[in-house]
Amino acid sequence: MGEVSIRKPAWLKTQVPVGKQYIGVREIVKKNKLHTICTSGHCPNMAECWGAGTATLMILGDICTRACKFCNVKTGRPLPADWNEPDRVAESVKKMGVKHCVITSVDRDDLEDGGAEIWALTIKKMKEVNPGTTIETLIPDFDGNTDLIDRVISAGPEVVSHNLETVRRITPIIRSKARYERSLKVLEHIAKSGVRSKTGVMV
């Protein structure tokens, strides 16, 4: 008796990156010299998101100062902050025509403010150029500095996320420099500010 072929579930399959929407997003990102977590993190769902005309933009460069074991983003010494980036992000989102934009960033422990000012400027520029687009920010822990977190919140995003990524027990093993309790305090601070808070678990 031969082997029985088992059909793979739909969620296990990834799409081939093709189509007008996918190409459009790719060209906008390339032309405006932007980074996305989709490409930097080698996300297997990129075709699905870009094919729908959207992408998760990653500000403050594509080199992270941390080296979390679950993440494919490059680790090293980042380039200086690009103060023209907020304008390019806002204009790119306008061209994409998305109603909800997700923005994240690498960790910038090399900067005194952790990149908080670029974060705030990006959100404000987004609001100016795309008043009908809601903004979700996925922020680093800023070493637990609530003043820096407040700079992001004060800029007015609709959602402020900070990912726990994993459980307390293995946080020291897979999250570079991060502390589970610190992340909990970051989330608590975000929630108490009144803005919609969110977190995610990767491992």
Domain spans in the chain, listed from the N-terminal domain onward: 17-198
Residue 52 banded pLDDT, cuts 50, 70, 90: low
Residue 18 banded pLDDT, cuts 50, 70, 90: low
Are 157 and 149 in contact by the 8 Å Cβ rule? The answer is no
Rounded CA gap, 162 and 53, in Å? 24
Q: What pLDDT does residue 32 have?
A: 83
Are 163 and 198 in contact by the 8 Å Cβ rule? The answer is no
Amino acid at 125: K
Q: Which residues, at least 6 apart from 195, have a Cβ–Cβ distance to it below 8 Å?
A: 153, 157, 158, 159, 160
Q: Residues 70-103: pLDDT tens digits?
A: 888 999 999 999 999 999 999 999 998 888 999 9
Chain centroid offset of residue 203 CA: 17
Residue 42 banded pLDDT, cuts 50, 70, 90: low
| pTM, entire model | 0.86
Chain centroid offset of residue 73 CA: 11
Q: Does domain 17-198 have CATH number 3.20.20.70?
A: yes
Can you read off the two tokens belonging to residue 134? 């809601």
Q: What pLDDT does residue 166 have?
A: 94
Highest mean pLDDT, choosing among 11-15, 32-36, 94-98, 153-157? 153-157
Is the per-residue pLDDT at 7 higher than 80?
no
Q: What pLDDT does residue 17 have?
A: 56
The answer to whether the Cα torsion of 41, 42, 48, 54 is positive or negative is positive
Is the per-residue pLDDT at 1 higher than 60?
no
Q: What pLDDT does residue 118 have?
A: 98
Query: What is the percentage of the chain residues whose pLDDT exceeds 70?
Result: 85
Question: How many Cα neighbours within 13 Å face the side chain of 144?
Answer: 9
Q: What pLDDT does residue 175 have?
A: 94
Number of other residues whose CB lies within 10 A of the CB of residue 51: 20
Which 3 state secondary structure label does DSSP give 150?
helix
Is the per-residue pLDDT at 50 higher than 70?
no
Report CA-CA distances (Å) from 168 to 63, 139, 188.
26, 19, 16
What's the whole-number average pLDDT of the chain? 89
Residue with tokens 């993440």: 71
Query: What is the percentage of the chain residues whose pLDDT exceeds 90?
Result: 66
Is the per-residue pLDDT at 53 higher than 70?
no
